[in-house]
Amino acid sequence: MRAMIIGGDNVMVTRRSLEASGYADIVHWSGRKRSDLRRDMPCGVVHMVIMLNFVNHNLARRMKLLAQQQQISVAYVGRKQHGGMPH
């Protein structure tokens, strides 16, 4: 099975988690390049992980739409915010 990670530089933890879940082929797009908005979706992707803190809104929106059209499951990952206002 093929999975895809969008965003992030250090994705080893996410990659290992996907491998442990049975994904043998993992594609990673950093999300930093403007060309990522126009890249063709790789064939055979059945699961997508979007790292929200590392991609722009347009890329996240495009990947979500492609996932819906191709019936690909999507997981959204955010990063805990440290500091800021107490709850």
Give the length of the chain: 87
Beta bridge partner(s), residue 51: 77
Instruction: Determine the Cα–Cα distance for residues 4 and 41; give it in Å rounded to an integer.
Output: 10
Q: Is the pLDDT of residue 87 over 50?
A: no
Residues ≥6 apart with Cβ < 8 Å to 22: 1
Higher pLDDT, 24 or 80: 24
Cα-to-chain-centroid distance, residue 65: 13
Q: What is the pLDDT of residues 44-85, one digit of tens each?
A: 999 999 998 888 889 999 999 999 999 999 999 886 555 544
Instruction: Determine the Cα–Cα distance for residues 55 and 10; give it in Å rounded to an integer.
Output: 14
